[in-house]
Amino acid sequence: MAADAPYTPHERSELGLTADRSPRHVAFIMDGNGRWAVSRGEPRIEGHREGAKTARMVIEESARLELEQVTLFCLSSENWKRPADELQMLLRLLEEYLIRERDEVVRRNLRFSMIGRREGLPEGVLRELDATADAAKGNTGTYLCLAINYGSRGEIVDAARRLASDVAASRIIADEIDETAFAARLDTAGMPDPDLVIRTAGEMRVSNFLLWQISYAELHVSPKCWPEFGRDDYFAALREFGARDRRFGGIKS
Catalytic center residues: 31, 79
DSSP 3-state assignment of 162? helix
Query: If DSSP codes are grouped into helix, strand and coil, which group holds residue 146?
Result: strand
Whether the CB-CB separation of 29 and 198 falls below 8 Å is answered with yes
In a 13 Å sphere around the CA of 242, the CA atoms on its Cβ side amount to 16
> What is the C-alpha to C-alpha distance for residues 186 and 153, in angstroms, rounded to an integer?
11
Sheet holding 218-221, edge to edge: 111-115, 143-150, 69-76, 25-29, 196-199, 218-221
The answer to whether the CB of 27 falls within 8 A of the CB of 210 is yes
Contact 226/200 with Cβ under 8 angstroms?
yes
DSSP letter at 28 equals: E
Closest CA to 98 of 152, 138, 135: 135
Cβ atoms of 22 and 61 closer than 8 Å: no
**Residue type for 98, please?**
L
Are the CB atoms for 113 and 145 separated by under 8 Å? yes
CA 219/CA 195 separation, integer angstroms? 9
